[in-house]
Structure 1
Amino acid sequence: MKLDNAVVFITGANRGLGLAFAKAALARGARKVYAAARDPASVTLPGVIPVKLDVTDPDDVARVAAECADVTLLVNNAGIANTGGFLAPDGLASTRAHLETNFFGPLMLSQAFAGALAANGGGGIVNVLSVVSWINSPLLGVYSASKTAAWGLTNGLRHELREQKTQVLGLHVGFIDTDMTRGFEAPKTPPEVVVARTLDALEAGDEEVRADEFTEQVKQGLSAEPGIYLLAPGF
């Protein structure tokens, strides 16, 4: 789908990757950009419409879907990323928190906006995933599992929404240079680069984008023997 004249709804749009999505959508000619955040006062980008949204709150999700029924592109960007594995003392609580935001949030929003997208010609959904959708380590164990679940959600939505001509694009990427990855000593891709590659893929009609070299390497390694997901990724 094309960004020109699109109506875009972006979750977690007050900072980091979400803010970069909002800026790029405006630059590519979007007619309207809804910038959603828990605190709409934190959305300060000129030209967007701040929207109050907690992606884990069903009432919030239902309200924004009713108020923003002209949406043609949903960007499920909001997420949490805490370190720790499943056997940590807070492993169970952390797993539930990650799934609430990173899996059930995009699920509820996709369900809520599917009808509007169909009514508006099909449109598209971008789900922000991760290279750790495919690999796991104790440092990011719980976060990785939530993104693996979101990858499965993305694949399922793609098939369910194809008949109504809704394009579903999964974004896989490694570390992005935002405040969320502060403290990680690893190569990082600027958010503007990630967004440009994602929107280029969207406009080309693609269903998956791998936004950095490391992610490309990991994807190729999934079919290796032993599979790359059986090896420690080094973080």
Structure 2
Amino acid sequence: MQIADSVALVTGAGRGLGRHFATQLLERGAAKVYAAARRPESVDVPGVEVLPLDITDPMSVAAAAAAADDVTLLVNNAGIATFTDLVTGDMDRIRLEMETNYFGLLNMVRAFAPVLRAGGGGALVNMLSVASWVGGEHAGAYNTAKAAAWSLTNCVRLELAAQNTLVSGVVLGPTDTDMIAGMDLPKNDPAAAVQTVLDEVEAGRTEILVDEFAAMAKTALSLDPAI
């Protein structure tokens, strides 16, 4: 996938990784970058085309697909973390995680798959997490939704192979964004993480392990989960 001269759309572009994606895509020569956010006024990247987008709202997603019908590179970055347990946590918060991190992702894939096909295939990048592969106390809703998103990514890759769409699943460990700002633990530099992702997308990688934590988590999948 060549980023130079591509037309990209980034969800959740108002802050964090999304903002870095929008910035770096322009720096790499993308012909156009749609920066989509639920609060479009939060987008402050010069040179982008701002789109209002709530990925949990099918009408909002359809409107974005109609407005950005020239997209060749879709970066599905938007997501939430409510830090909710599954057994005792609030069911509405658990459903919100699934509506956003799974069904919202699926909404975007379904709406933009025809757009990518019309442009020759292009690429679809889903931002996942090591949480896709490991359990997490006080974050069961997030981990479950991200595990579902990982499975979705693998299935969609098969479904879109015939239209020549590269489907890349990005797995990364804790990264220095607002989502985990209050946590005292080692974190990735978001700018460096995005640089790695874009390098790997250009190389045609289907699974992108951004850091050592992600590589270790994948290796650990073969172990007894009780360990």
Question: Fold conserved (TM > 0.5)?
Answer: yes
Q: Which amino acid aligns with 2:198?
A: L
How far off is 1:166 after superposition? Answer: 0.2
> 2:105 and 2:89 mapped to 1: Cα distance?
27
TM-score (norm 1): 0.94
Aligned length: 227
For structure 1, list consecutive stretches of 5 or more residues without a partner in the other structure: none
Residue 194 (structure 1) aligns with: 193
Q: Deviations over 1:41-66 (max 9, x none)?
A: 11111010110001100100011101
Residue 107 (structure 2) aligns with: 108
Q: Runs of at least 4 residues of structure 1 off by over 2 A?
A: none
Q: Which amino acid aligns with 1:230?
A: A
Q: Deviations over 1:192-223 (max 9, x none)?
A: 11111111110101101111111111111111
2:175 aligned with 1:179, yes or no? no
Residue 85 (structure 1) aligns with: 85
- Alignment RMSD: 0.9
Identity within the alignment, %: 48
Q: Secondary structure at the match of 1:168?
A: strand
> 2:39 and 2:183 mapped to 1: Cα distance?
27
Q: Secondary structure at the match of 2:141?
A: helix
Residue 15 (structure 1) aligns with: 15
Residue 165 (structure 1) aligns with: 164
Residue 139 (structure 1) aligns with: 138
> 2:66 and 2:175 mapped to 1: Cα distance?
32
Q: Deviations over 1:73-103 (max 9, x none)?
A: 111100001112102241x212210011100
2:45 aligned with 1:50, yes or no? no
Residue 63 (structure 2) aligns with: 63
Residue 148 (structure 1) aligns with: 147
How far off is 1:109 after superposition? Answer: 0.8
2:123 aligned with 1:124, yes or no? yes
For structure 2, list consecutive stretches of 5 or more residues without a partner in the other structure: none
Residue 73 (structure 2) aligns with: 73
How far off is 1:163 after superposition? Answer: 0.6
> 2:97 and 2:172 mapped to 1: Cα distance?
18
